[in-house]
Amino acid sequence: MKLQSLRRAASVTLAAASLVIGGAVSGHTADGSRHTDGSGQADASDQRAAAAPVLRDLAAAKGIYYGTAVTASKLTGTYGTIVGEQFDSITPGNEMKWGSVEPTRGSFNWSGADAVVNYAEAHAQKVRGHTLVWHSQLPNWVSNGSWTADTLRTVMTDHIATEAGRYQGRIDHWDVVNEPFNEDGTRRQSVFQTAIGDSYIADALRAARAADPAAKLYVNDYNVEGVNAKSTALYNLVKSLKEQGVPIDGVGLQAHLILGQVPSTLQANIQRFADLGVDVAITELDIRTTVPPTTAQLAQQKAEYKAVTAACVAVSRCEGVTVWGFTDSDSWIPDVFPGYGAATPYDENFQPKPAYYGIAEALGWTDGGTNPPAGACAVTYAVQSQWNTGFTAQVTIRNTSTAAVNGWTLAWSWPAGQSVTQAWNATVTQSGSAVSAANAGYNAAIAPGASVTFGFNGSWSGGNTAPTAFTLNGTACTVS
């Protein structure tokens, strides 16, 4: 639906902008190779990475895919490594939209779209083509042209034939028509609806089938996740198209959701579309919350990502789930909804959030004690000394669960302008206000009831307020 958005495996070195303190971060490098301690044995970082859930593998075991929207220019380094490791389907955030590929009539730019498709094929991933016909992000010559029904139909079908034809046999799903309805279930008065009329959707689907007979063809929309007027209009459209013999294979439920507002009828809605004889996909999932999120909000977000994923798993014709970007650093939400954000499964520093583990749990993963349940860890943060622009702090992590933690990463965000300058007993990384501390080789294990302590020096300006929320391996801890 929206503009571009877009795991950090515990072993992946953060981007160059991050601050690395207390020694090099070991594990997988950006090219996927592994560091060892010199003996040929994988170090603690590798062991943590091996224990972490891999969403694409878990999803495949459930018979679905798990995907993410991507930005073509970012498919390198840590970002590219995570996309390849964790997801088995990718959607170009912008690179296949009409305004990107045909900015001038008959003149095409395929560089971004080609980059996404080539990356996917190199990483054994599906591609969800997004999108052929949409009222937004159109080039001016289309949106402001003087059209008759016949002339615009020709332009539309020619565009579909060219784009879908270029990638024939390489696209798994196409969002052929995107967002055709208003909130009350009436037709959106796009340039296509206005000039061509109701038939433009059928015309577009037929053209897409002719251009790429193997691709699955979808109509995609937002605020259609639960049973309501808009989703019922989409339901009636699909039913009518099926009765007319128009090629339609599935419906996309975008699922741009707000924390606390996941529809209770989501699974039932997926099932009613499946009962029409079409597939269903959740195509653009994110769950936004006010920022900065509290520990309770992150825990609720985890539960809601788990619930949405589980609803798909529960319906046999639900093909898969795509998150609209996997990291908060590349999410569209803050630009469109002021005061909201933190909508994706990873934070801005490529750290998995509780939501990531919620997804994994819905796909059948159990943590074996690596990821403690909420409240099963406690953190004590203490400023031991402070001077003009600097301070020394000590952090203690206590395992309050009954299972051992084997390898840990503690993450927090600074409330006011602080930065870490030196650390001991942990490897600390920082990007903006987001900080993470990973265990040293000698303190990776925390037995039930035991604790570990690390410390650091930092700088501050304007205030030195203590963090109020911490996550251990992505799960919220209590703060004491």
Please identify every residue annotated as catalytic: 284
Q: Count of CB atoms within 10 A of residue 245's CB?
A: 9
Q: Residue 336's Cα: distance from chain center in Å?
A: 17
Distances (CA, A) of 65 to 61, 112, 129, 213: 9, 23, 15, 21
Which has the closest alpha carbon to 251: 231, 268, 265? Answer: 231
Q: Give Cβ neighbours of residue 40 (< 8 Å, ≥ 6 apart).
A: none
Residue 320 contacts residue 284 (beta carbons within 8 Å): no
Distance CA 285, CA 15 (A): 25
Distance CA 177, CA 455 (A): 54
H or E, element range at 411: strand 409-413
The residue type at 252? G
Residue 312 contacts residue 44 (beta carbons within 8 Å): no
Residue 474 contacts residue 404 (beta carbons within 8 Å): no
* Longest CA pairwise span in the chain (Å): 76
Backbone angles phi, psi at 11, to 5 degrees: -95, 0
Residue 72 contacts residue 90 (beta carbons within 8 Å): no
Q: Is 132 exposed, middle or buried (0-12, 13-18, 19+ CB in 10 A)?
A: buried
Q: Count of CB atoms within 10 A of residue 286's CB?
A: 27
